[in-house]
């Protein structure tokens, strides 16, 4: 399985620290499968996009701002989205603009949506390790209620 046994705890800790206005550290949360790594590197082939390694790192700033502060998802929601998007069944999406994977198996979220969770990697800043930069629950027509302004600590 691509996520480590400690991944959920590490992801949650970073998101909670961000919520509390604390600085967070880069953490290793797992590895891509051989097939996922092969497909990502095949898509990145070329001098401007050197290959990446299987180890996935996480900080969480963008995910916290976009999914929790902007969209109103809870930390539990985001952890579930990441677990689903990072599963071994997730397939690499063909795109010249991003490096991403999506779980082809729909998941029913707690808001009544049938979503396909997509993870997006940033592959330059922490090269050769891809950073889990974003998660997107594709098909989330029913969104959570956004928290009141001023909450979140970021």
Tell me which residue of 115, 113, 129, 119 sits closest to 93, measured CA to CA: 119
Domain ranges of the chain: 7-138
Would you state the pLDDT for residue 46?
74
Q: What is the pLDDT of residue 109?
A: 97
Percentage of residues in the chain having pLDDT higher than 90: 86
Average pLDDT over residues 31-36: 98
User: Which region holds residue 19: left if phi is over 0, alpha if psi is between -120 and 50, else beta?
Assistant: alpha
pLDDT digits (tens, 9 = 90+) for 46-100: 778 899 999 999 999 999 999 999 999 999 999 999 999 999 999 999 988 899 9
CB 102 within 8 A of CB 70: no
pTM of the model: 0.92
- Please, which pLDDT band fits residue 132 given cuts at 50, 70 and 90? very high
């Amino acid at each position: 399985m691509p996520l480590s046994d400690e991944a959920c705890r590490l992801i949650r800790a970073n998101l909670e620290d961000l919520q509390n206005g604390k600085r967070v550290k880069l953490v290793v949360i797992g590895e891509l499968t051989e097939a996922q790594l092969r497909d990502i590197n095949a898509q990145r082939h070329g001098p401007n996009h050197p290959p990446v390694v299987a180890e996935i790192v996480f900080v969480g700033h963008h995910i916290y701002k976009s999914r929790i502060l902007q969209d109103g998802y809870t930390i539990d929601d985001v952890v579930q989205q990441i677990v689903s998007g990072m599963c071994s069944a997730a397939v690499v999406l063909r795109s010249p603009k991003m490096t991403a994977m999506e779980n082809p198996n729909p998941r029913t979220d707690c808001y009544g949506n049938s979503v396909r969770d997509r993870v997006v990697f940033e592959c330059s800043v922490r090269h050769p390790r891809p950073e889990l930069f974003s998660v997107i629950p594709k098909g989330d027509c029913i969104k959570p209620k956004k928290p009141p302004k001023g909450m979140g600590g970021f």
